[in-house]
Structure 1
Amino acid sequence: MRARSAVVFGVLRLLAFLVPFGLMMLFPVMREYYWLSAIFAALIGLSLSMLFLRQPLAEMTSEIASRRARRERVTDEDAEDAATPE
């Protein structure tokens, strides 16, 4: 499996959280309430990833699905033959 799409998606998701968190940490009020900054950054990151990261997510899930399809070559007939006693 190519890990490139998973790494790209993970890095972009991490940046979608860290950039808003870093910007909020520039304000003195938010430095005092760092936990509130983390919550807001998580919500902003989630929103950004839902809007802008659809393509990397689709690439990553298609690679995972193709890998699983290659690994699982059991057909219905094979499963029925294995389940019925002879």
Structure 2
Amino acid sequence: MHVKTGRTWLVYTLIRLGIFAVVLAALLLTQMTPFIAAAVAAVISLCASYIFLRKPREQLAEGLYEARHGEAKQAKRLPEKAGSDEENEDTVVDASDLDAPQK
């Protein structure tokens, strides 16, 4: 999985840099100040990659999660048991009622 994550990271980075370069070149051709053009190109490329590169970004995030947690392949994390939060709250409230002085 490490090789696939590395390849995904490389492809994702190259596409983002390509988007940035194209937008920057277009902005510089319009005689925009280079510093402002670079900032605008960075924002536009960030937005474009967020919108259009969802699949590679999710693959990269999944690979990083697996590498961080040392798991070979995790399909999905199991959700918490339904109502567990409410049950915990009820337990705490019941315990505090037992500690309260009786009238």
Q: Comparing both structures, which one devotes a greater share of its residues to helix?
A: 1
Taking structure 2 as the reference length, what is the TM-score of the superposition?
Answer: 0.60
Code of the residue aligned with 2:58 in structure 1: it is A
Structure 2 stretches lacking a partner, 5+ long: 72-103
| C-alpha separation in 1, matches of 2:34 and 2:68 | 41
- Residue 25 of structure 1 aligns to a residue in which SS? helix
CA–CA distance in 2 between the matches of 1:4 and 1:39?
Answer: 28
Equivalences, count: 68
The normalised TM-score by structure 1 is: 0.71
Consecutive unaligned residues of structure 1, counting only runs of 5 or more, are 72-86
Deviations 1:43-71 (A, max 9, x none): 11111011001111101111111122227
Deviation at 1:9, TM superposition (A): 1.0
What's the C-alpha RMSD, in Å, of the aligned pairs? 1.4
Runs of 4+ in 1 over 6 A off after TM superposition: none
Determine which structure has greater relative contact order: mean sequence separation of CA pairs < 8 Å that are 6+ residues apart, divided by chain length: 1
SS in 1 for 2:29: coil
Tell me the residue number matched to 1:40. 40
